[in-house]
Amino acid sequence: MSSVMRKTTKSATARRLAAAAIALGSCLALAGPATGADAAPAAPVPTVFFGDSYTANYGIAPVNHEGSERFFCFQAKENYPAVATRHLKEKGITLDVQADVSCGGALTHHLWEKQELPFGLGALPPQQDALKPDTGLVVGSMGGNTVGFSRILKQCSAKLRGDDGALLPGTPVDDKQPAAKCREFFESGTGKQWLDDQFERVGWDLEEMIERIRYFSPDAKPVLVGYPRIVPHDTAKCLKPAPGQTELPFVDVPHDALPVLDQVQKRLDDDMKKAAADAGADFVELYGHTGNNTACDGANRGVGGLLEPSLLKFGDQPLPWYLHPNEKGRDIQAKRVADKVEQVLNR
């Protein structure tokens, strides 16, 4: 579909969703309780958390939904939604969590389409099914998988092209190009065009995601959560293993490609921030506040190294972090989210 046709289709969709949301919202407004403009609501706030592995906090154990297909979302019992909810309760703000549907591997369009689980383990309904007319707050992260960050990592790592990357979704962008040349690949030609196309899709999908949240939960306050920074400004930090580790934080990803990974992250952060602003939603900035907690910051790292053993195990074998927030990083996410939610609810 051409970009013009997509834009026309999106505009029509937006008008229909907006009209329906206004009509439904008007009805709910007549029945809904009013809250003070300068105080957090005393009543519990019906809340839905959504998102991908960074909301589910893949790598932290134990995991929710044992015995069901949702177990393979690897959603931690102590993920940032759970920790942020406790922080807010300590401040007198109670969230009535209607659902946490965050799931590892989710792309942005899995808000409105079913998500196939890996290895033929089943499929999950669209995350938007958790949204209700009385939902007052919707919080989560989407976009990283739509950009294709795991495919970018596989393009840049020979190890991830083998069994070490079995849990990461997707394949290299072009497996005929050597991992050692991934910087050149993404900075020109087909690699650069692929990235540009991915980001165009991210923009459209984020727009539709927020429209759908507003349609199904017209009175909800959407809060889009960014991603923590993974690569430091000073990439020389990445040339030694973290304490207690033997592998480098990025293993065999070429050192000269690390700025490319950082640029992808920064571009995604900017696009998410813009999508939230354009839609009148709120945004939790993490990239700009975690520059000293990257995968290369040793004891201060808030992100586990690429093949560093996480807290999850398959039998007796620990699964890698794959650059996801560790407990320190999870706590940073939770505090930033709790602070933003408090601000939003106090408006």
Which position among 53, 57, 102, 157 bears the catalytic label?
A: 53
List, in order, residues 6 or more apart from 335 with CB less than 8 Å away.
84, 87
CB 250 within 8 A of CB 236: no
CB 335 within 8 A of CB 285: no
Cα–Cα nearest to 267, from 148, 182, 111: 148
Phi-psi region of 287 (alpha: psi -120 to 50; beta: other; left: phi over 0): alpha
CB 304 within 8 A of CB 295: yes
Torsion on CA atoms 38, 40, 42, 48, rounded to nearest 10: 140
Which position among 104, 105, 143, 329 bears the catalytic label?
A: 105
Per the annotation, the verdict on 293 as an active-site residue is no
Per the annotation, the verdict on 79 as an active-site residue is no
Which position among 59, 79, 324, 329 bears the catalytic label?
A: 324
Please state, in angstroms and rounded to a whole number, the distance separating the CA atoms of residues 122 and 82. 26
Per the annotation, the verdict on 217 as an active-site residue is no
Cα–Cα nearest to 311, from 301, 322, 300: 322
Query: Which pair of structure tokens corresponds to residue 72?
Result: 């393979």
Which DSSP helix (H) or strand (E) runs through 341? helix 327-345
Q: How far is CA 85 from CA 36, 219, 225, in A?
A: 21, 20, 15
Per the annotation, the verdict on 324 as an active-site residue is yes
Positive/negative CA dihedral, 248, 252, 253, 258: positive
CB 161 within 8 A of CB 175: yes
Which position among 141, 145, 150, 293 bears the catalytic label?
A: 145
Please state, in angstroms and rounded to a whole number, the distance separating the CA atoms of residues 187 and 260. 8
**How is residue 62 annotated by DSSP?**
S
Tell me which residues are annotated as active site.
Answer: 53, 105, 145, 324
